[in-house]
Amino acid sequence: MANAIAPILSRFVLLFSIFFLKDISFAFSQLKNTYFERLSVKNGLSHNYATAILQDKDGFYWIATNDGLNRFDGSAFTVFRYNKNDSFGITHNVCSYLLEGRDGDIWIATMKGINRYSKKTGVFKKYFLHHPKINDDILNRIYGFAMDKEGNIWATGYGLWKIDAVTDSITGYYFDANNSRSVSDGGETTSLYYDTLLNGLWFQTPDHVNFFDIGSAQFFHSTNNPKRWRVFDLPNKNVAMAADGKAAIWMYDELQKKLYHFDNPLSDPVSVSIFFPKSVANIKVNTKEGDDLLLFNFDLMPALFYNWKTNKTDTMPAPFGDPGDKNSRLVHSVYTDREGNTWYCTRAGIAIAAKHYDAIKIFHLPNTAEGFPLATWSMANDGHEGLWLGTKNGLLRYNIENNGLQSMNSPLLNATTRALYNDGDSVLWISTSGRKLLLLHLRSNKISRTIEIPGNGIFLLADRQGHIWLGTWNQGLLEFDNKGNLLHHYTSKNGLAYDGLIGAWYDGNNEIWIGMNGGNGFARFDLKNRQFSNYLITTKLDNSVGSNTVNTLLKDGQGKIWLGTYGGGLYCFDTGKNVYSNYRQADGLSGDFVNTLQLDGAGNLWISTTKGIDMLDIKSGSISRLNIAMEFDDNGYINNKLLSTEGKLFYSANNKIILVRPSQFAGKMNTRQILLSSFKVFDKEIPALANQTVIRLRYNENFFTVNYSMPKISPEIPAKYRYILRGFDKNWRTALNGIANYTNVPPGTYTLLLDATNETGKWLDRPREISIIVSPPFWKTWWFYTLLLLLIMGSVIGIVRTRVNRVRKNEREQLRLIVATQEKEKKNISAGLHDDLGVRLSALKYFVASLKPFLQKENPSADDTYKKTMATIDESVEDIRYLLINLSPKTLDEYGYLLAVEDLVNKLGRLHVIEVNLRQKGMEQRLQQEIESGLYRITQELINNTLKHAEANTINLSIEKINNHIHLQYSDDGKGFDLEKEKQGYGVENIYTRVALLNGKIEWGDASRAGTAVHISVPIHT
């Protein structure tokens, strides 16, 4: 559930300024030395008077101001202002409160109604409140904003209003003089808080504190208090109220000058007396667990924090270092984001206390009497609470706790001090201008010894024997015992390459490493052998004087020497390989003029330059940058670093002291999520795609632009951007201003990686990934290729089938023509036989019969011949008749296929040739002549084959009409025949030909069984 930002900001600390507090103890301000980032109109904020902030689920910061709504992505602002010509824009520029709905939309309370910004469409929806008796302008000034657990939006201004999360309808609740359960009284309603434990809303009217119970839709207050809540027993007029959302309430009584705290509405209050010379504008409470802070906010006085558990207070400092900047101390609200950064809405912009800077404190020293910054050139420890500062104006003692400076009452100590060393045994060694080395006895604060030296000192260190080593600007190296007696003076005559020294480092054993001026490199001094080894930095890229002017150096745990140079950046010298590697500003350093180096307990290297402070992770080589400006007059060397006995690092920059706790430094900001500000296709923004993890584009949408940013709290720290489209790019591309642009991306599936550097200069551990799917045109899709292949295959098959069918049709036509010709010839032969041969046989029989009377009875052979002749003539007549039936059965033409078959079967039966069992079904109607003729010839061939080859006794013949098909089932009980062999004969071939002409099918039975069996089906047309 999103939380209201103001006045119920879910992560708010309560702010307020105080003139006099009674019964409240004051503690040293914990905010006073906090390092603040700043956002203002200079950075693009629409107005410096900021009223509310929230960070949405995507990571964007939304900032309400007195002149528009802002969306901040860490680099730039997008400003939404009222435009009378934009019907989808915001309704008013004065924005007061913010909420994030459960669907991710941003709700904005303005001085002219409520607005809802849809991230999907990029437009504002307007909600105006209406009441028949109240002016709309007054009614739509929103003074309170909250969201309940169901996602409903509630607002106060005049009455209590609800926008239903489901129906989007608006319901108003007002004062009703006839209903004690309504709002307590009329007038403005303010200070709206949603209570998660009680599921209700706390708010104020001019005369009462109200609680609205959402479940019963009933208002409770001093005139309707059936539960006898103690919170309503106090006078509710002239009070400022706050609630933490968990049943606890605070009320400040202006008349009694008391702050009351209720753990819950039934509990007795705990009070603290407080007097303010000005009226309290409002109170706000931080509901973030563990803060326990209230904010008192005033119109014209700095804000004040009050911790009710510790009874301590903390005033709002001048966050930008200017005590005269009163507007920056007038805090309207406070918000803590997901990283723990605290955002203060002031009248001078946004002040941000970064979480990763909790380990950093900044102390501002006063200017000199002449009004110039106090230039600090060296530091030394002075116990747990202070520092010794060597400045241009002499030696000073600085108390960290109270920010106090103490000068020393000695003319000798008023000289410019360039080097300090506290020996830990009550003596402070001081090198000043005028070629003097002073020993200050710390217990007496008196100079115990003044030593004249040949040159001005630049550094001081001690070895394990307690000897003090002083490096001079132009007179080499001096060694003193712990009493200040000079033991040795080493110069170029003793093997040192150059007498102008700058920095030094002692390894704790037998080596002192020394950096030299004038481009003369560095040296190692062997304490045991008392010998110098001189080195020059040699690289292929740079052998300049600046690179060989070594300001500072040290050895790490791996034995490598780190060298900070005057303009050449940072070098690492691998003594084993005699190889140098270099880090410059282009590699992430804040600057190339390095003043100091220091290793922390974790082995990280801290680097101060003339532009800032950096931390180098030696193992990974990554550089983290602290966004802290180091103000120096020039790039000249200053020994501005001190490592305290507790492991703290102190840095100086003119009149600024910076405290860093390396062990607490949260430099790990690499888990942040890149923000997508917009996604454009052909330069047209599509809001709905901005936060998708998978983006699907059509083939004609392959020109797209992604605007993205790094969510950092300071836009003044430039981020580096890079991106790569896996599957399209081979290498990372540099993104100018966080813009990834692609043109003419071919269809395919890609992974877009977006990367950026954070405030410390590190690339993210996990760049943002977006799957980009560019769909091909339909003619390049697999399904189209499949369809095309099927179409081609279908076409080929169709062509082949058409060709085959045409060939088959031609063959059938030829066969049909042949068969028709055969049938015609058979009819002609039949007619010829009937008309010629038949008549002659009949005449022959007549003539033979006429000869019988002339036969002699006594001649039996003649009579026998006569009988045989007549019998032969009768057989010939019968053969002619059978032949005529085969050639052209008259019954087929006159009565059809079935009767012709029956006639054939009867004749076979009369001749006792074979027994035929005929069964028919559905053959009452005649068929087409072609079909009848074909079926008859097929039946004839089957019977003829049986008679010639089968040696069968019985034939079973079934003829049925089923579903527009004639089914002919034929079988005999003969010996069967070899189908493949018989196919070569005319009989079976004639059967296949006839079936093919009729577009029928033929299936022969199992050849392994006795007899012949065949099934023939022929389609018919009804």
pLDDT of residue 245: 77
pTM for the model: 0.67
Confidence of residue 826 (pLDDT cuts 50, 70, 90): low
* Residue 567: band (very low, low, confident or very high) from pLDDT cuts 50, 70, 90: very high
Tokens of 104: 């991710």
Residue 787 and residue 784: Cα distance in Å, rounded?
Answer: 5
Nearest CA among 906, 922, 840, 908 for reference residue 873: 840
Q: Which string of b and e fits 249-287 if b means at least 16 CB within 10 Å?
A: bbbbbeeeebbbbbeebeeebeebebebeeebbbbbbbb
- Residue from 990, 933, 945, 992 nearest 971 by CA: 945
User: Are 659 and 653 contacting, i.e. CB atoms less than 8 angstroms apart?
Assistant: no
DSSP 1006: -
CATH topology of domain 675-776: Immunoglobulin-like (2.60.40)
Thinking of the domain 892-1022, which architecture would CATH place it in?
2-Layer Sandwich (3.30)
What count of other Cβ atoms lies within 10 Å of the Cβ of residue 894? 9
Q: What is the pLDDT of residue 15?
A: 31
pLDDT value at residue 868: 75
Output the six-digit token pair for 82: 């009222």
Can you point out the beta strands (E) in 1-49? 25-26, 36-39
pLDDT digits over 203-241, tens only? 999 889 999 999 999 999 999 999 999 999 888 777 888
- Whether the per-residue pLDDT at 158 is higher than 60: the answer is yes
Element (H, E) at 921: strand 915-921
Q: How many residues does the chain have?
A: 1022
Residues 6+ apart with CB under 8 A from 755: 674, 721, 722, 723, 732, 763, 764, 767, 768
Q: How far apart are CA 552 and CA 534, in angstroms?
A: 15
In a 3-state reduction of DSSP, which class is residue 881?
helix
Higher local confidence (pLDDT), 900 or 755: 755
Give residue 843's pLDDT band: very low, low, confident or very high (50, 70, 90): low
Q: Give yes or no for a cis peptide into 7 (omega within 30° of 0).
A: yes
Predicted pLDDT at 829:
67
Provide the percentage of residues in the chain whose pLDDT is more than 90. 42
Q: What is the pLDDT of residue 24?
A: 34
- Mean pLDDT, to the nearest integer, of 829-833? 59
CA distance linking residue 666 with residue 353, whole number of Å? 13
Q: With a cut of 50, say whether residue 937 has pLDDT above it.
A: yes
| Residue 27 clears pLDDT 70, i.e. is over it | no
Over residues 790-816, the mean pLDDT reads: 82
> Across 587-596, 815-824, 845-854, which has the greatest mean pLDDT?
587-596
CA 905 distance to own-chain centroid: 90
| 388-439 pLDDT tens trace | 999 988 999 988 877 788 888 788 888 999 999 998 878 999 999 999 999 9
Residue 670 has pLDDT above 60, yes or no: no
pLDDT of residue 429: 96
* pLDDT score of 26: 31
Percentage helix, strand, coil for the chain under 3-state DSSP, each rounded to 5: 20, 35, 45
- Sequence ranges of the domains in the chain: 25-358, 513-665, 675-776, 781-888, 892-1022
With 0-12 / 13-18 / 19 or more C-beta atoms within 10 angstroms meaning exposed / middle / buried, residue 21 is middle
Place of tokens 């550094």: 459
Would you state the pLDDT for residue 439? Answer: 95
pLDDT more than 70, % of the chain: 86
CA distances from 350 to 284, 335, 377, 716 (A): 18, 11, 33, 14
Contacts of 465 (CB under 8 A, 6+ apart): none
- Backbone φ, ψ for residue 108 (5° rounding): -125, 125
User: What does the block give as tokens for 403?
Assistant: 């920010």
Cβ-contact 303, 331 below 8 angstroms: yes
Relative orientation angle of helices 860-887 and 782-832, to the nearest 10 degrees = 150
Strand residues in 952-1021 grouped as ranges (E)? 954-962, 965-972, 1001-1004, 1013-1019
pLDDT of 281:
63
pLDDT at 884: 57
Checking if the pLDDT of 831 tops 60, the result is no
DSSP-derived secondary structure letter, 849: H
Asked if the domains at 25-358 and 513-665 fall in one CATH topology, the answer is: yes
| Residues 767-788 pLDDT 10s | 999 999 999 988 888 888 888 8
Reference 608, options 562, 576, 574; nearest CA is 562
Amino acid in position 271: S
751 has which bridge partners? 726, 771
Q: With 0-12 CB in 10 A as exposed, 13-18 as middle and 19+ as buried, what is 879?
A: exposed
Average pLDDT over residues 651-670: 77
Task: Look at the block and give the residue holding tokens 């115990």.
Answer: 448
pLDDT in tens, 180-194: 899 999 888 988 999
Asked whether the beta carbons of 719 and 708 are under 8 A apart, the reply is no
- What are the b/e assignments for 550-572, b being 16+ CB within 10 Å? bbbbbbeeeebbbbbbbbbbbbb
Quote the CA–CA distance of 16 and 920 in Å, as a whole number: 113
Place of tokens 């005049």: 158
Asked whether the predicted pLDDT for residue 861 surpasses 90, the reply is no
Token duo for residue 456: 């001005």
Token couple for 289: 């667990």
> What CATH fold (topology level) applies to the domain 513-665?
Methylamine Dehydrogenase; Chain H (2.130.10)
Which element (helix H / strand E) includes 848?
A: helix 838-850
Sign of CA dihedral 952, 955, 956, 959: positive
Question: Which residue's structure tokens are 């880090």?
Answer: 583
CATH of domain 25-358: 2.130.10.10
Nearest to 280 by CA among 257, 259, 296, 302: 296
Mean pLDDT of the chain: 84
pLDDT at 247: 81
**Res 540: pLDDT:** 66
What are the CA-CA distances from residue 501 to residues 477, 504, 889 (Å)? 8, 8, 139
Predicted pLDDT of residue 22: 30
pLDDT in tens, 490-544: 999 999 999 999 999 999 999 999 999 999 999 999 999 999 999 999 876 565 6
DSSP one-letter string for 208-250: -EEEEETTTTEEEBTTB-TT--GGGTS--TTEEEEE-SSS-EE
CA distance 686 to 683: 9
Alpha helices in 851-1003 (DSSP H): 860-887, 890-895, 897-910, 929-945, 979-982, 986-997
Separation of alpha carbons 540 and 586, rounded Å: 18
Q: What is the sign of the dihedral through the CA atoms of 232, 236, 239 and 240?
A: positive
Q: What is the DSSP letter of 84?
A: T
Across the strands, what pairs with 916? 955
Indicate if the pLDDT at residue 834 is higher than 70.
no
pLDDT at 271: 82
Cβ-based neighbours of 821, under 8 Å, separated by 6 or more = none
pLDDT beyond 90 at 455: yes
Query: Does residue 284 have a pLDDT over 80?
Result: no
Token pair, residue 143, equals 């003074």
| 986 — pLDDT class (breaks 50, 70, 90) | low
| Segment 734-759 mean pLDDT | 90
